[in-house]
């Protein structure tokens, strides 16, 4: 019997050529592929010529329930590859609960790293990358959103946010209100794809830009840190 493992496999964020040979091999070696959308992943496996695999759906709403199933598969000696629709599993996608469950049960967890929109946007933003925070998606409304915006107002490190196209303008407006119009920001759109674009400026300028430009595709906001307001000594 082979040694079972959960294998986190990074996949491209838009450009198939970013799939690493090792990631493709990890999918070939897998007995089962756990994925968010079985139809999308089936297409990816076909494009990569990986061959037919048993697929199981793991998404935000069933990750905790699927943990027992995946622990049993790994305990039976199976290699279970976990992929997201795009990028790295566990980054605003299922992953962390499965890793916690499989490792707590004493089994192996391996990782084959690949692109992530967060790090890709950060490095192309031109904003300080020495120390940074990942915010992911802000809560859509309520006190959770207010609390994160209040935090961003004083966070000195560069912060990375994900946002859906139909909400990006409203989120930038809220960031202007919380952090001020002068805060530096970069908006990375459609990274690694045909219409890749990186816009750089201030939050106030970005709000104006989004008010008149079409908002389509996938977006990452990279927000400069709050200025140091300590009195000079």
Binding mask 7-46 for ligand SAM (x = CB under 6 A): ------xx--------------------------------
81 part of the interface to ligand SAM, by CB under 6 A: no
β-bridge partners, 160 = 134, 222
92 part of the interface to ligand SAM, by CB under 6 A: yes
**Minimum distance from CB of 154 to ligand SAM (Å)?**
24
116 part of the interface to ligand SAM, by CB under 6 A: yes
107 near 5, Cβ under 8 Å?
yes
* Interacting residue with ligand SAM among 35, 66, 117, 152 (CB under 6 A): 117
* Interacting residue with ligand SAM among 7, 163, 183, 206 (CB under 6 A): 163
Classify residue 87 by its DSSP letter.
B
Q: Which residue is nearest to ligand SAM (CB)?
A: 87
Tokens linked to 13: 């964020």
Q: Which is nearer to ligand SAM, 78 or 174 (CB)?
A: 174
Q: Where are the alpha helices (DSSP H) in the chain?
A: 21-29, 38-47, 63-75, 96-104, 117-125, 142-154, 168-179, 203-212
23-31, 38-46, 86-94, 207-215 -> range binding ligand SAM (CB under 6 A): 86-94
β-bridge partners, 79 = 5
b/e per residue 138-174 (b: at least 16 CB within 10 A): beeeeeeeeebbeebeebebbbbbbbeeeebbebbeb
What distances in angstroms separate CA 143 from CA 80, 138, 140, 147, 162, one per listed residue? 38, 11, 10, 6, 19
21-29, 89-97, 170-178, 205-213 -> range binding ligand SAM (CB under 6 A): 89-97
* Interacting residue with ligand SAM among 4, 87, 224, 225 (CB under 6 A): 87
211 near 233, Cβ under 8 Å?
no
Rounded CA-CA distance 155/175 in Å is 12
152 part of the interface to ligand SAM, by CB under 6 A: no
* Interacting residue with ligand SAM among 63, 93, 155, 174 (CB under 6 A): 93
Q: Which is nearer to ligand SAM, 78 or 116 (CB)?
A: 116
Half-sphere exposure (Cβ direction) of 220: Cα atoms closer than 13 Å:
26
* Interacting residue with ligand SAM among 145, 193, 200, 215 (CB under 6 A): 193
**Contacting positions for ligand SAM (CB under 6 A):** 13-14, 84, 86-88, 91-93, 116-118, 162-164, 188, 190-193, 218-220
């Amino acid at each position: 019997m082979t040694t079972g493992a959960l294998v986190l496999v990074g996949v491209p964020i838009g450009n198939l050529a970013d799939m690493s040979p090792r990631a493709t091999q990890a999918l070939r070696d897998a007995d089962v592929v756990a994925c968010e959308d079985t139809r999308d992943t089936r297409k990816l496996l076909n494009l990569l010529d990986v061959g037919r695999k048993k697929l199981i759906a793991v998404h935000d709403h069933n990750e905790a329930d699927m943990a027992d199933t995946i622990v049993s598969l790994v305990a039976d000696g199976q290699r279970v590859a976990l992929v997201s629709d795009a990028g790295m599993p566990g980054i605003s996608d299922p992953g962390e609960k499965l890793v916690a469950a499989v490792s707590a049960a004493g089994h192996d967890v391996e990782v084959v790293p690949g692109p992530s929109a967060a790090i890709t946007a950060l490095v192309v933003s031109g904003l300080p990358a020495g120390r940074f925070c990942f915010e992911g998606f802000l809560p859509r409304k309520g006190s959770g959103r207010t609390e994160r915006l209040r935090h961003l107002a004083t966070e000195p490190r560069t912060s990375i946010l994900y946002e859906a196209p139909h909400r990006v303008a409203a989120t930038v407006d809220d960031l202007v209100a919380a952090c001020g119009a002068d805060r530096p920001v970069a908006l990375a759109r459609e990274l690694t794809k045909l219409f890749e674009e990186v816009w750089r400026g201030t939050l106030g300028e970005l709000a104006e830009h989004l008010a008149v430009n079409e908002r389509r595709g996938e977006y990452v906001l990279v927000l400069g840190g709050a200025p140091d307001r300590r009195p000079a000594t």
